[in-house]
Structures are given as structure tokens and as C-alpha cells.
Structure 1
Amino acid sequence: MEIQKLESDGIARVRNDEVIITDTASMLDFVMSVQYETTYHKIIIDKVAVLEAFFDLKTGLLGDAFQKLVTYQLKMAIIGDFSMYSESFKDYIYESNKGSHVYFVATEEEAVEKLR
């Protein structure tokens, strides 16, 4: 896992080609580790680092994990292509992107803009 500090924005950019978030506990461990290493409360991660089951709303993984982010006042942007998912998931993305904790975006530039 490579962590880049985007210091001017107070954002930690995490790059990893393998799945590192597999459940709520691993997501919490991940964000706390990043926060400990950087002291930043805003994190950008690629979609490939998140278990695919998170993007199936029926599993409940997404809601549980993201509630932890809200509880600990952390913000996260996930970069990737989300066009192949169900309409209900696209609605979830739309609502989430209007909020202030979790964003689903296509590019790093969009992620930085949302997290500022």
C-alpha cells in the first residue's frame, strides 16, 4: 500500500492494486492506519481496493462501513467506474455524493474537489 500525502489539501491518496477492504472491520482498520500515518481525515482510494460485494446494496456492507466513517468524522472518495451497477446503486451514489462523507467519482481530480 502506497500512501501519498496531498498536503495542500490535507488528503491522503492511497494506491493499491489489491483488495484491502473486505468487510467493515478491515475498512475501519484501513482508515485508522491511514489516519495514524498521515494525521489526515480525508482519504482517496481506488475502487479495485474494495471488495466487489461492497457495491451490492443487498449485502449491507457499504452502509455498515460508511456509518463508521461518519461516526469517526472521516471522509473518503472512491475512484472508479460505477456505470455497470444497478439503478438503485446509482441512486445511492447520487445521494452519497450530495452528502459530506463518502463520494464515488471517476477521477482523482474529482475526488480532491469533493474532499476539499
Structure 2
Amino acid sequence: MKILIDQVGDSKVAIVESADILIGNAQDALDLMATVKYTDDCYKILIPKSNITESFFELSTRLAGEILQKYTNYQVRLAIVGDFDEYDSKSLHAFIIECNRGKQVFFLPDVQTALDKLHSVA
């Protein structure tokens, strides 16, 4: 795993790069958050969807809700980058739309859009 920091003014975003699944369960998500917070003093994370287990995107597993609640509780913003149109689930698409309306978790199509969004939220 490689973590790059993109900084604009006081805003820092940790860009996670890896060829592996980094978030397979809630503990993995907490470990990533702790690494970024304490190693890089960063409260915003950008991660490709390819680094997250597919079960995250099956809302019936409740994994997405569990992970996103932890990130919200610890006030860490998260942008997941990728193509979400490949999923047929109407509930997942509604979930993504609702998340994107907020200020905590975002599902975005590309890295630059995600960086812009994360840097724009305090």
C-alpha cells in the first residue's frame, strides 16, 4: 500500500494506492483510517473502489453502513472512486446519491473530482 498526500492550503487528502483489497471488513477500514490519521495527520481519504471488497457494494451485507458509520463517528471524510454504473441495485444507487448529497462520504467517478470534493469540505 502506498499513501500519497495531496495538500491544498490546510486541506490534506490521503490518496491510497494498492493492487490489493485493503478494506475487506470493518476492522480493515478502521486500520486504514488509523494509519492515515496518525501517520499523516489526515482526516480525508480517497480510495479506489477496486481496493474495497465487492460485498461492500451489496447493501444487504450491511458492511457499507457499518464502515461508513465508523468513518462518520471519527469525523474522517471518505471518497470512493470508480464506476458505480456497473451495479444493477436501485438501493445502492439511491444510497450513493444520498451519500453524495452530504459532506462525509462520496462516491465519485475519478480522482480529480474526488480531490476537488474532499478539498472543498471542511
- TM-score of the aligned structures, taking structure 1 as reference length: 0.96
The residue aligned with 1:17 is 19
Residues 35-94 of structure 1, C-alpha deviation per residue, up to 9 Å, x if partnerless?
112101001001111000000000000001100001000001011111021111011000
Q: 2:110 matched to which residue of 1?
A: 107
| Alignment-derived partner of residue 63 in structure 1 | 65
- Root-mean-square deviation (CA, aligned residues, Å) is 0.8
Partner amino acid, structure 1, of 2:16: V
- TM-aligned CA deviation for residue 114 of structure 1: 1.5
1:100, CA displacement in angstroms?
1.0
**Matched residues in 1 for 2:93 and 2:51: separation?**
20
**Which residue in the other structure is 2:5 paired with?**
5
Runs (5+) with no aligned partner, structure 1: none
3-state SS of paired residue (1:7): strand
The aligned residue for residue 29 of structure 1 is 31
Question: For residue 92 of structure 1, what is the aligned residue in structure 2?
Answer: 95
Q: Equivalent pairs: percent with the same residue? A: 35
TM-score with structure 2 length normalisation?
0.92
Distance in 2 separating the partners of 1:109 and 1:23: 27
Identify which range, 28-37 or 74-83, moves more after superposition: 28-37
Report the counterpart of residue 78 of structure 1 in structure 2: 80
